[in-house]
Amino acid sequence: MKLYKNITIKKASIYLTASLIAVTGCKKSFLDVPPQGQPPATAFWITADDATRGVNSLYANMRTWTEVAFAPIAIESLGSDDTETGSDPSDGSVPFMNTYNNFTVTSTQGQIADFWNGKYHQIELCNQVLDNVPNITMDNSLKARYVAEAKFIRAYTYFRLVRAFGDVPLRLHLPKDANEFNIPRTPKAQVYAAIEQDLTEAAGVLPQSYSGQENIGRATKGAALAMHAKVCMYQAKWAEVLNYTNQVMSLGYALVPNFEKEFREVNENSSESIFEIQAELVPGNGDASNSQYSQVQGVRGVTGGGWGFNIPTKALADSFEPGDPRRDATIIFRGETTPEGDPIPESVPNAFYNQKSYVPFSEYQSGFNEGCQQNIRVMRFAEVLLMNAEAANEQGDAVTALASLEKVRARARGGNPAILPKITTTDKGALRLAIWEERHHELAMEFDRYFDVIRQGRAKEIFGPLGWKDRNVVWPLPQAEIDLSSGKLVQNAGY
């Protein structure tokens, strides 16, 4: 695949070095032919340009199939009360996706393996950068920044793994010999510690902002701090959450006034954006236009829509407070006309679709994935405010909690005092529930709800009626990985 040498990470296609092929142990002779236009392994990780290519590959890989399509939908979204499989009964993917929705999935289901393998592939790319770039003769400040970017992406990737599976193998360097390929699971506390170390070191180096078109979307100091806050929130380390969110709140981020417009292309990488996975439709280059995030969730049955998976539930639609504009900005309703002017026919298979992943149908180009130009919002300033509110409340500071909570509600309210009244309770338990409900509606359909409810300790209460059992606090490890490990990997209890 072609790599753009000095262009934005938005357009960079995946660059897999020959060293990765060697590490993964391919033996087929037909794979030994070097890809056209790529240097042999012996000629890579030599120059500053090699370092740039290697780091760009980390960002490009973030928008590939295993990172943004079926596997993340299955693992990070379909278990929640907000979502169900959707699509159309005639689609052969529906039955196996339903097993995540009703908690009957087994360790041999393909999306489990895709999610696991996709994350470890990304970690492998990060470790290539981290093990090789420090040895390259190049500008030291740029070298340090590249290392920090790789640490941020590795930390984000391990966070996704540890939430999904609990204890996971922790690999922080490339294997040096055969004995280092097959390693056991690492206790999740140690994985979290490694994630935090990566984020601390990244935040100490990454800039607050960048200049130049070629740097749009790169990890920043704010991204590392915000991700660190979220990692600490999952461990109930409230003093640290408050510290990191306070730092982010001092860096100049601001909420986009119109909630619905925050998710449109015009507001990609906006003042509210802390980190986004970059995507773009590049004319004549399908390799670089490879995101299927919007395609798999788009309105089924219309040109320019998509496959219709991961749809909102009626329960989500009914859960919003009366008049909350986020309801219509989060859910596309059958029979409506979108704010961008697209009529949604009554004939589409599902009553609801994800509006946050929606791209106007007029932007569809034949030969490209529907909505491939849509960035994926990973962390928004609104979530930082809500983490700050939750941490302050847990620390006994209701005044700060209410102030941060109100900023989010005020944006949603949009100047209409008749809706979304201010939360005024200072009771710790009542305020905690109010903050959780605000997260529910502010972050709905952003792949947050399932693990959010689990870390709150409410999974049995909220997901139990859907079939959730105690074992579902984590998903099963891929059976193929357990088999290949010769007993070093042990399955999660109950699977």
- The encoded tokens of residue 257 equal 């006034």
Looking at the structure, tell me whether residues 130 and 15 fall in a common domain. yes
Looking at the structure, tell me whether residues 30 and 167 fall in a common domain. yes
> What are the Cα distances from residue 386, in Å, to 76, 231, 327, 427, 435?
20, 14, 18, 17, 7
- Whether residue 173 is contained in a domain is answered as yes
- Whether residue 232 is contained in a domain is answered as no
- The encoded tokens of residue 212 equal 């130049």
Q: Which residue in the block uniquely carries the two structure tokens 């944006």?
A: 411
CA distance 394 to 236: 9
Among residues 344, 374, 404, which one ends one of the domains?
A: 374
Res 40: pLDDT: 57
Contact 226, 384 (CB under 8 A): yes
Looking at the structure, tell me whether residues 32 and 148 fall in a common domain. yes
Res 15: pLDDT: 43
Res 38: pLDDT: 56
Looking at the structure, tell me whether residues 369 and 468 fall in a common domain. no
- Whether residue 448 is contained in a domain is answered as no
Looking at the structure, tell me whether residues 69 and 175 fall in a common domain. yes
Q: Tens-digit pLDDT profile for the chain (495 aa)?
A: 222 223 467 666 544 433 343 333 333 232 233 444 555 556 899 999 999 999 999 999 999 999 999 999 999 999 999 999 999 999 999 999 999 999 999 999 999 999 999 999 999 999 999 999 999 999 999 999 999 999 999 999 999 999 999 999 999 999 998 888 999 999 999 999 999 999 999 999 999 999 999 999 999 999 999 999 999 999 999 999 999 999 999 999 999 999 999 999 999 999 999 999 999 999 999 888 999 999 999 999 999 999 999 999 999 999 999 999 999 999 999 999 999 999 999 999 999 999 999 999 999 999 999 999 999 999 999 999 999 999 999 999 999 999 999 999 999 999 999 999 999 999 999 999 999 999 999 999 999 999 999 999 999 999 999 999 999 999 999 999 999 999 999 999 999
DSSP 8-state assignment for residue 490? -
Rg (CA), the chain: 22
Each residue's pLDDT tens digit, 127-185: 999 999 999 999 999 999 999 999 999 999 999 999 999 999 999 999 998 888 999 99
- Whether residue 92 is contained in a domain is answered as yes
Res 249: pLDDT: 98
Please give the backbone phi and psi of residue 343, each rounded to the nearest 5 degrees, phi first: -75, 135
Please give the backbone phi and psi of residue 89, each rounded to the nearest 5 degrees, phi first: -55, -25
Structural domain range at position 176: 1-203+457-495
Looking at the structure, tell me whether residues 369 and 494 fall in a common domain. no
- pTM score, whole prediction: 0.93
- Whether residue 247 is contained in a domain is answered as no
Looking at the structure, tell me whether residues 463 and 364 fall in a common domain. no
Looking at the structure, tell me whether residues 365 and 463 fall in a common domain. no
Res 304: pLDDT: 97
Res 325: pLDDT: 98
Helix (H, G, I), strand (E, B) or coil at 298: coil
Among residues 325, 341, 374, which one ends one of the domains?
A: 374
Contact 206, 152 (CB under 8 A): yes
CATH number of the domain to which 469 belongs: 1.25.40.390
Contact 349, 239 (CB under 8 A): no
The two beta strands, 309-312 and 273-277, are: unpaired
Res 258: pLDDT: 97
Looking at the structure, tell me whether residues 199 and 299 fall in a common domain. no
- Whether residue 433 is contained in a domain is answered as no
- Whether residue 194 is contained in a domain is answered as yes
CA distance 160 to 162: 6
- Whether residue 53 is contained in a domain is answered as yes
Q: Which of 309, 377, 376, 299 is nearest to 100 (CA)?
A: 309
Domain tally, the chain:
2
DSSP 8-state assignment for residue 251? T
Among residues 358, 374, 390, which one ends one of the domains?
A: 374
Looking at the structure, tell me whether residues 145 and 12 fall in a common domain. yes
Please give the backbone phi and psi of residue 331, each rounded to the nearest 5 degrees, phi first: -120, 130
Q: Give the distance from CA 188 to its chain's centroid.
A: 19
